[in-house]
Structures are given as structure tokens and as C-alpha cells.
A and B are shown apart, each in its own frame.
Chain A
């Protein structure tokens, strides 16, 4: 069954959706959208370094994403506004990554595959990594769910309940790095943030509780993957961007429906 590239692509996409959607809810609730974007962009430098050292691209991307996220966390509040800092670090990392890739003359690298994803080329090893990573993210989020939510609501409220908000921030940062690493193959570094934010945003109007929003976001992300794959086969369009387009259409429908309902 896994010999069919389409089945592998579908499973890979669903694996990423399963991890990215709940993570994306926290990104939206904590207003970390730009943070997520910056972390994802930085990972291309990790890809370049990994290729140069002939180590796993997955690990390289994850390490770089983690490093980036930790650097931003450590540097914020030291004279620069966070958005300025993110703009500097993210685009620098992206630029250095692109330059670094150009030095790798020995290997022929399809840069587009890392920038926009290449879900149809997902192999069995990739699939194992994606589902392993997704399982890790889900386990991490489920384990810390209540503490993460409390810290997201208010850091002092968390302290009063014996929760250290900085530790929860670290858990989220770690989960984000894993999501970035598993999503590169599917949508590429430039569109990872879309897969985090759009399903969560589309789910918001239909949810009454945080848990409800996470579940609906997973459904939206899954639907986007299936629809995007189908559309890309029908119209012969790039798959990663097609997935994001479907997610965007669902978001538009959700937003329109909400405003009509409110009259």
C-alpha cells in the first residue's frame, strides 16, 4: 500500500496536519504568527548545513528552527522590538541559507523542493519521520495542555497555580521546531506558517472551548491536505501551495459564514 506515491503523500500530509493544527492554535492564541513564520524561514539554513555535512535534513532543519526560536526568546526585550528582531533574524537566516545552498556544488539540489515542499516525493523514511514527529508533538501538547493553556491566559495566574510560564514557553518552542521540521517536505519553509495559522483561524468561529478549536483545526487542515492533493492532480499545480489555497478557501468560507450569521 505504501508503494503508491499518492498514498504516501496523503499520509504525509495528514500527519503534518495532525501536528500543525493544534500547534497553530497556540500560535494564534499567543499571537506568535510572525514568530512561527520566522522560525520556519530560518530552517532553510539548517537544511543547507545538513546537506553540507551529509546529515539528516530533518535534524538540521529542526536544530536550526530550535536555535532560531531560542535566540529570539533570549534576545527579545533587549532594546529591539520583537517584530524588528524577528525580521532581522528570520530573513538573515533565510538569505544565509540560500547562499549556503548555492555553495553546495557537489550535490544537485532542488531548492524549490525545500522552499515549497515536494509532498509527492515523500519516501517511506520521510513518512516514518513525519508520523514520529507528529506523534511527539501531539504527546507533548497533550501532556502539557492544561499548563500551556493557563500560561497562555496569564503568566501570573500560571505562577499562582505552581506553573512556570517560561518552561511552558520552552515546550511550545520545542514543539514548533518539530512541526517545522516535519512540514518542510510537505509544504516547504515558506508556507509552513500558513499551515499553522489558517486552520486555527478558520476553526475559531465554530469553537466554544480551546479543545474544540484544536479538533476543528485538525479537521480543516486534514480537509485542506486531501483537497489540495486532489486539486494539484486535477489541475497539475504545485501540491504544497494547492494545500494552502484550499485552507485559505475554507477560511474565507468560515469568515463569510460568520459575518452573514451575525447579520
Chain B
């Protein structure tokens, strides 16, 4: 039985469709990562799961009694709002100080409880957010680009923390990430999203899927191609040659997608 399952899920935002016909699920204890270009609906999928955006069609099935811990993409605390770490941990429900201390310990920041939230470094802040999510004793931890704004060692350390938490608590993890190299090593399963589910499976399967390569390329581990290919692409061209070169797109077999630009046509 999956903890969360999306069936034919579509989400619309002010008249345009952000997610269409998404099928995905996550099982107990899995680490699943969602990758995709900017604007591909990764964050929207997580926000739909927590109920922050309405579902336009399809179904979102949540197993009875599943507890979710959510770590948002960014949290800007207004400087006029005084907030100690301990007080933040007790929002919205008051928590026992021992539980707060244990959660901070698990997230790797045991000594911060009396500090002001606005005085924390980026890495400390994200760990406090993680600790607060752990207080819900989550069966499923949702992380929305939780390492945004951290440097490479910082984000690597953060992902190690996530794996450690998963090992200790046995919770499933569903996260959105831009950092493909980390994703590919740390995930049980990867979902490649671009408004719809392009492909999903183990990191090895996804990395070799033509859909994934069409989006991210191969040679650069995707880091460069990520920002170049945000147009819709077609899957049914059946070609499997290397798409990793600079002007790569998967349409040179004659299938011209709707959103193809003139630049692409000339090419």
C-alpha cells in the first residue's frame, strides 16, 4: 500500500495547466526524488500533496493516518517577528521540550534552541526546518529544494543528514532537487517531471531513458542542459542516439512539437 498516490492528477494555476495527468506514488521508506526543469511543476506537485493548491482533476489518495512532515523551499521570516528556534518548533502545536531537543539533535543542530531564527546561517535554518518537520513523527517527509542557497559541501552534508534521518526513523522521503549528481546517488527512485511525468524508475533507468536525456543531456550530467531545455518535448520519436551535445533536442526525426521555437526549426 502506497503512502501517497496520485492518479491522473492535473493542477491548474490561473487558467494554465501546470501539471497534467500525473501518475505517481511513494511507498514506505522510499527516497524518491523529483527532477525537472524550472517551471515543470515540481513544487506544485508537493504543494498539491499538502493541500496548498487545489486539484483540478484526477485523484490524490492519501493512506489513512499518514503523517507528513513538510520542509518548504524557502521561509522568509520578517525581521519584525521575534522567534526563537524553540518557539518555532512549537508551531502550531506546543511540543514537549524533550521532543524539541530530540528533533534538533536528529537534524544535527542540538544547541540552537535559544537562538533567534533570523540569526541562523542558511544550513542551520534548513536543519531547523527539518527538525520541525520531524516533530510530526512523519511517515513521509516532503522536501522542496531544501538545499537552495547552500554551497556544495553544505548541501552534500544536508543530504547525508536526510539519509541518516531516513535510516533512523524509517520514513519515506519525497524531495525536489536541482542537484542531479546528488539525486542520482541518493535516491531509490527518480521521477522526471515536465508538466507531466516524462519517465520514472531507479536512477539508472531514468538516467538512460531518452526522455530524461532529452531534458537534461548526458555529457554534462545534466547541469548545463537543465536550463536550455524547458520547452515541451515529444517522446514518441523513438531515437536513442546521444542527445547530450549543445543544441540537443529529441526531435530530429521529424516530429515537431507544438512549442518548438523558430531557432529550433532552423537548427
Chain B's nearest CB lies how many Å from the CB of A31? 7
Q: Which of the four size classes fits the interface of chain A? A: 20 to 34
B83 proximity list for chain A (CB < 8 A)? 153, 209-210
Q: Find out whether the CB atom of B82 lies under 8 angstroms from the CB atom of A209.
A: yes
Q: Find out whether the CB atom of B78 lies under 8 angstroms from the CB atom of A31.
A: yes
Q: Find out whether the CB atom of A147 lies under 8 angstroms from the CB atom of B87.
A: no
Q: Find out whether the CB atom of A204 lies under 8 angstroms from the CB atom of B80.
A: yes
- Is A154 an interface residue, CB under 8 A from the partner? yes
Name the segment of B46-54, B177-185, B226-234 touching the other chain.
B46-54
Q: Find out whether the CB atom of B50 lies under 8 angstroms from the CB atom of A146.
A: no
Complex: how many Å from CA A152 to CA B93? 15
**Minimal Cβ-Cβ distance residue in A for B142:** A160
- Is A142 an interface residue, CB under 8 A from the partner? no
- Is A169 an interface residue, CB under 8 A from the partner? no
Chain B's nearest CB lies how many Å from the CB of A258? 13
Complex: how many Å from CA A28 to CA B78? 9
A201 proximity list for chain B (CB < 8 A)? 80
B212 proximity list for chain A (CB < 8 A)? none
Interface string of B65-86 (1 = CB under 8 A from A): 0001110100101101111100
Complex: how many Å from CA A149 to CA B90? 11
The 8 Å CB contact of A160, one of B70, B78, B87, is B70
- Is A75 an interface residue, CB under 8 A from the partner? no
The 8 Å CB contact of B93, one of A146, A154, A158, is A146
A150 proximity list for chain B (CB < 8 A)? 91-92
Q: Find out whether the CB atom of B92 lies under 8 angstroms from the CB atom of A212.
A: no
Instruction: State whether A161 and B92 are in contact (beta carbons under 8 Å apart), knowing that A154-B72, A209-B82, A210-B81 are contacts in the complex.
Output: yes
Q: Find out whether the CB atom of B82 lies under 8 angstroms from the CB atom of A213.
A: yes
Complex: how many Å from CA A30 to CA B80? 9
Q: Find out whether the CB atom of A152 lies under 8 angstroms from the CB atom of B81.
A: yes
A30 proximity list for chain B (CB < 8 A)? 78
**Minimal Cβ-Cβ distance residue in B for A164:** B51
Chain A interface, DSSP helix/strand/loop, else mixed: helix
Q: Which of the four size classes fits the interface of chain B? A: 20 to 34
**Minimal Cβ-Cβ distance residue in B for A157:** B72
Q: Find out whether the CB atom of B52 lies under 8 angstroms from the CB atom of A146.
A: no
Chain A's nearest CB lies how many Å from the CB of B68? 7
Instruction: State whether A163 and B92 are in contact (beta carbons under 8 Å apart), knowing that A157-B70, A204-B82 are contacts in the complex.
Output: yes
The 8 Å CB contact of B91, one of A153, A159, A162, A204, is A153
- Is B148 an interface residue, CB under 8 A from the partner? no
- Is B124 an interface residue, CB under 8 A from the partner? no
B52 proximity list for chain A (CB < 8 A)? 155-156, 159-160
The 8 Å CB contact of B84, one of A149, A154, A162, A208, is A208
Complex: how many Å from CA A152 to CA B75? 11
Chain A's nearest CB lies how many Å from the CB of B194? 22
Instruction: State whether A209 and B92 are in contact (beta carbons under 8 Å apart), knowing that A156-B50, A160-B70 are contacts in the complex.
Output: no
Complex: how many Å from CA A159 to CA B72? 11
Q: Find out whether the CB atom of A153 lies under 8 angstroms from the CB atom of B75.
A: yes
**Minimal Cβ-Cβ distance residue in B for A31:** B78
Which B residues between 113 and 142 are near A, CB-CB below 8 angstroms?
116, 142
- Is A207 an interface residue, CB under 8 A from the partner? yes
B91 proximity list for chain A (CB < 8 A)? 146, 149-150, 153
A158 proximity list for chain B (CB < 8 A)? 92
Chain B's nearest CB lies how many Å from the CB of A218? 15
B92 proximity list for chain A (CB < 8 A)? 146-147, 149-150, 158, 161, 163
Complex: how many Å from CA A28 to CA B82? 12
| Residue among B83, B93, B94, B142 with max Cβ neighbours from chain A (10 Å) | B83
| Residue among A154, A156, A210, A212 with max Cβ neighbours from chain B (10 Å) | A156
Complex: how many Å from CA A146 to CA B92? 5
Chain A's nearest CB lies how many Å from the CB of B202? 28
A200 proximity list for chain B (CB < 8 A)? 80
Q: Can you offer 5 A-B residue contacts whose CB atoms are under 8 A?
A: A146-B91, A153-B81, A158-B92, A210-B82, A210-B87
The 3 closest A-B pairs by CB, nearest first: A160-B70, A159-B52, A146-B92
